[in-house]
Structure 1
Amino acid sequence: MAAVDSFNLLYREIGRSCNCYMEALALVGAWYMARKCFTLVCNSYSLIRLHFIPKLVSRADFVKRYGRWAIVTGSTAGIGQAYAEELASHGLNIILISRSKEKLETVTKEIAETYNVETAIIVADFSKGREVYSSIKEALRDKDIGILVNSVGVFCAYPEYFTRLSEDKLWEIVNVNIAAANMMVHIVLPGMVERKRGAIVNVSSGSCCKPTPQMAAYSASKAYLDHFSRALHYEYASKGIFIQSLIPFFISTNMTQLGDHVLSRKLFCVPSAKVYAHHAVSTLGISRRTTGYWLHSIQFLLVQYMPEWFWVWGMQILNNSLRRGALSHRIH
């Protein structure tokens, strides 16, 4: 009988201990769910505040806020051209920088005639490295540069394993995707600091969110731009300079036209460059790190929460498909 009483006493003690653990686990679970719900509410509010509320108010006066002139690099096609046109629609004078004089003259003529603003061009091939910047610096002397958009970038013809890339392509990625933004910021930022106003937009990529196989050099260069922008914000926000890291996902441009692959087709989550630029410009001065487009923001949140292995698995499948599609298109 004594043995039975001892067993019952032990059982009750174990039960009380288990209840304590269960209560502790329940509190941890409740805290975790509360935190996730709070994060979801905050992210939803940010999405609405950034991408929908600005559409209900009057357009921002960028000339008054930042200055009369905007520079856009890589501006003869894709995001760069569309962004330049959108800024011109806000009344800013536009300076376009790219390597093709013929294309620059065509785009500047269209912008000047359509939006009745002043335009200027600077011919520069950023892949050449350090030698191009002295002429750029001289051409921009005494200009009231209010906005700088570093949109120039290069991508491989299709996703490829790192060892199969040529040395020339690697240097091009470094010189264009990384060095160009650094040097352009170094040229225009002192004037902005002196005037205590200005905005810089560095165009990164959704591939910067997590390591991206078969796009190692490209995705790393875009991750650099993202960190570079965020660090500059902490350095110069107090001096009146707004610095934005723009992180687009897939956009319908020449860069995504890889043969007959699905990215070349019309998808609701793959906007045209013009549609994307319209949304992205509306976030200028509001968010220092954004995808620029509401559907891309949803994709960004999903990527942030997914495990790295799942991202890598998905990108391996996608990039293999892109490479096969591009190679097949070349053959035909």
Structure 2
Amino acid sequence: MMAAVAAWFFFSLAWLGAIHVSIVAFRLLAHVALCLRRPRDLRRRYGTWAVVTGPTAGIGRSMALELASRGLNLVLVGRDPAKLREISSTICRTHAVQTETVLFDFSLVSTVQGERAMARLREAVEGLDVGVLVNNAGIAKPGAVYFHEVDVEAWARMIRVNVLALTDVTAAVLPGMARRGRGAIVNIGSASGSLLPSYPLYSVYAGTKRYVADFSRSLSVEYRSRGIDVQCQVPFLVQTNMVSSALKSSFVRLFVVPVDAYARAAVRWIGHGAVCVPSVAHRIQCFYAGHWPEFIYDAARLEQHRKQRAIFRRIRSWRNSLGNSRKGGRVATDDDKIIASGVPSE
């Protein structure tokens, strides 16, 4: 009797293991098939124009260039007029597409200035066949800190940029897609808010990215039958100039994906899944992270972020001392660069 029970138990474990391996293999094959298949014709499937927020650096810039290489005209939305002119000129010089620019400081959303900028965006997209929206703009500043160490206005600014602006831009573009019966909305999320059990010292940032993932999931269900694909793309760490070399060195180099490689994968994944991890390296990292007990992961992540906090504090101290030595002069520092696609892309 005991032998029969033991045999049944081990048979059950083997069966469950076989099912698990089959599921993992199926997902891997699906990913490989997507990588090998001919890229989708985005113009024919969705429309001739794309709107990209935060297109002047990092993931946003590379995705704008990648979309232009696929023949899409671009509406570029950002806060720096000189950088908008530069990326617009670069796109027009290297690709046979049209561009328009809209000046919009997303930290001013829900203010009088923000409403004026939103009106300019609505006017810019009116009458255009906007097929793709990439909500990339976001901030992670002030970086790794305990919640009580930063004034509440800094957290409010992060919520305005990462949550309110993304929602408002989507509301400005989606009605046109609904009328035309086609479109794709790509919201750039983060593993910190979608896949990882916790992200201490970046709590508000992770919370905003959780909103992006849940917003995308529900909107996907809401509009799928109307021909609109909505997805949250989830990066881990992407290598951009936004991250100081001191922080880059604390990660396994294999998992720090070059920004152009990430953009190519991200554009290929448009329309495939409500929440997706476009990079193969990031998918491996996701699989690895999911097999640690949460208490071990939490402790390890807290220790890692404490080290990042120490780095940021040294950077700020250096900035303050250098700034004091240059009377009235502003000094650009790494603290200014911890934005959008930096370390908190996880």
- For the criterion TM > 0.5, the same-fold answer is yes
Q: Deviations over 1:49-70 (max 9, x none)?
A: 22x3234332221000000000
Contact kept, 8 Å, 2:220 with 2:230, in 1: the verdict is yes
Q: Distance in 1 between matches of 2:105 and 2:179?
A: 29
In the TM superposition, residue 256 of structure 1 has moved relative to its aligned partner by 2.8
Contact kept? 1:73, 1:150, Cα under 8 Å = yes
Separation in structure 2 between the aligned mates of residue 31 and residue 194 of structure 1, nearest angstrom: 52
Aligned to 2:59: 79
The aligned residue for residue 25 of structure 2 is 44
Equivalent residue for 2:44, pick from 64, 67, 70 = 64
Offset from partner CA, 1:170-226 (integer Å, 9 cap, x none): 111111111111111111111111111100011110111222110100001101101
TM-score after normalising by structure 1: 0.87
| SS of equivalent to 1:316 | helix
- Name the CA distance, whole Å, in 2 between partners of 1:28 and 1:194: 57
C-alpha distance in 2, partners of 1:314/1:198?
41
> Who is 2:103 aligned against?
123
Amino acid at match of 1:205: S
Q: CA RMSD in A?
A: 2.1
User: Of 259, 273, 281, which aligns to 2:267?
Assistant: 281
How many Å apart are 1:326 and its aligned residue?
2.4
What does 1:193-272 align with in structure 2 at a 5 Å threshold? 193-208=178-193, 209=195, 210-257=197-244, 260-263=246-249, 267-272=253-258
CA displacement 1:286-316 (0-9 Å, x = unmatched):
2332111001011112233432222211211
Per-residue CA distance 1:253-305 (angstroms, 9 max, x = gap): 24432x52344888121012111111111111223321110010111122334
The verdict on how the C-alpha distance between 1:26 and 1:207 changes in structure 2, with shifts beyond 3 A counting, is farther
Structure 2 gap ranges (5+): 319-346
Q: Distance in 1 between matches of 2:103 and 2:71?
A: 23
1:298 paired to 2:284:
yes
Q: How many residues align?
A: 311
C-alpha separation in 2, matches of 1:265 and 1:299: 11
Q: Which moved more, 1:63-72 or 1:190-199?
A: 190-199
Task: Return the index of the structure with the highest Cα Rg.
Answer: 1
1:139-194: CA deviation from partner (whole Å, max 9, x where unpaired): 22112110001001000243110111222211111111111111111111111111
**Cross-structure match for 1:158:** 143
Unpaired runs of 5+ in structure 1? 1-15
Which shifted more, 303-312 or 275-284? 303-312
Instruction: Answer yes or no: is the 8 Å Cα contact 1:247–1:291 preserved in 2.
Output: yes
**SS at 1:256 equivalent:** coil
Partners of 1:254 and 1:33 lie apart in 2 by 48
Distance 1:81 1:28 in 2: 54
Q: Confirm whether residue 102 of structure 1 aligns to residue 82 of structure 2.
A: yes
Q: What does residue 34 of structure 1 align with?
A: 15
Q: Distance in 2 between matches of 1:26 and 1:185?
A: 56
* Identical columns (%): 31
Letter in 2 for 1:307: P
